[in-house]
Structure 1
Amino acid sequence: MKALAYPGTMNALALLTLVVPATPPEDGSPQPWFTVGPLLSVSRRQEDTAWGVGLESTLNLAMHNNSMQSFKSGAVGVFGQAQWMDGDHARLCGGVQGTFLFLGLEAGVAHETGTTVHQATTSLHLAPFLGLVYGSVGVRFSFPFEDRRDLMGRIPYGREVGLTLTLKKPFSPML
């Protein structure tokens, strides 16, 4: 039998077997789940307040069950957000998230498209949140990677502190 060409393939397959169960367990332990739903936000920047409406989805892959009658104590996964901000530009964001009990943290990268006043801006996104069964309430922080005007004189979006609210429809087991 011929060996695999890429030496890391076996490691990747071994990791995959830890994340994705082959068959659903019969003991009621948590399964990977996917959620999707509306996202509302209000945020404050140096110069103004911004409102946003859009969608957020999450895919939680690695769960921990602390054996208290199927109580899900924590999860790690990925998230994605798309919002229409102030009626004139888009904010796209994605990254990793982790939860423990009802506390969570998102860490990722956000990108806001340009307008006549602001240039397109990419930022570091950090958002602690309280996770509820069908949604979350959180505070998001964005720190732009660039702070100089572009050739057209447009300024980047500044640092942001915002309040977010999501409602999510869970789909489980996903895989």
Structure 2
Amino acid sequence: MRSSAKVVLVALAAGALGVAASLMTSGPGPLLRSEPGQRLLGAALSASAPAPPAGVSVATRGERVAAISVRDPDGNRVEIPGRFAGRPLLVNVWASWCAPCLKEMPELQRFATQQGADGVQVVGIALDEPDAVAAFLRRVPVSYPILLDAPGPADAGVRLGNPRGVLPYSALISADGRLLKQRIGPFDAGEIDAWTGD
């Protein structure tokens, strides 16, 4: 075996041991909260996901997001990302029955308020019944727009690159409509600032 191949094998083994040690000492949290961890998790979930229905475009990191049509609480059609073009957009896909989704909503609200009129826009898409969403928002109001979609194999989360439908799910879209980042799982306090700023 050539020496360069040995170096590569040793480096891979050392990396695998480092990941194993991290998981044993602090659990999957730190790894899964990192960008490389999120990419690995996303790839693993995508590899095991069923193929989307014919004609459904699933967003790919770095590529433009195809138009996604959802509804506002009044039933009017809203196109993502088109309606929000011109500024970066954080889309958070959630449901009223999803405890981790609800836990992160105050953090999303804090971030949206902090961004003001010129920063990153925040939009929530609830994969839920309109009545359940309305009841929830009466108890826990947020100032950022909440849109609605029916859960299923072609819902907004799937189209935004989450074919397994794990909730909560967030996607960061550039001002010109490209998928920049994906996040499976909830944000803890202060995490969104670093995630959108990287």
Report the TM-score when normalising by structure 1: 0.27
Q: TM-score, normalised by structure 2?
A: 0.24
Greater C-alpha radius of gyration: 1
Higher RCO (C-alpha 8 Å, min separation 6): 2
Task: Give the number of the structure whose residues are more often strand, by fraction.
Answer: 1
Q: Which structure shows the higher helix fraction?
A: 2
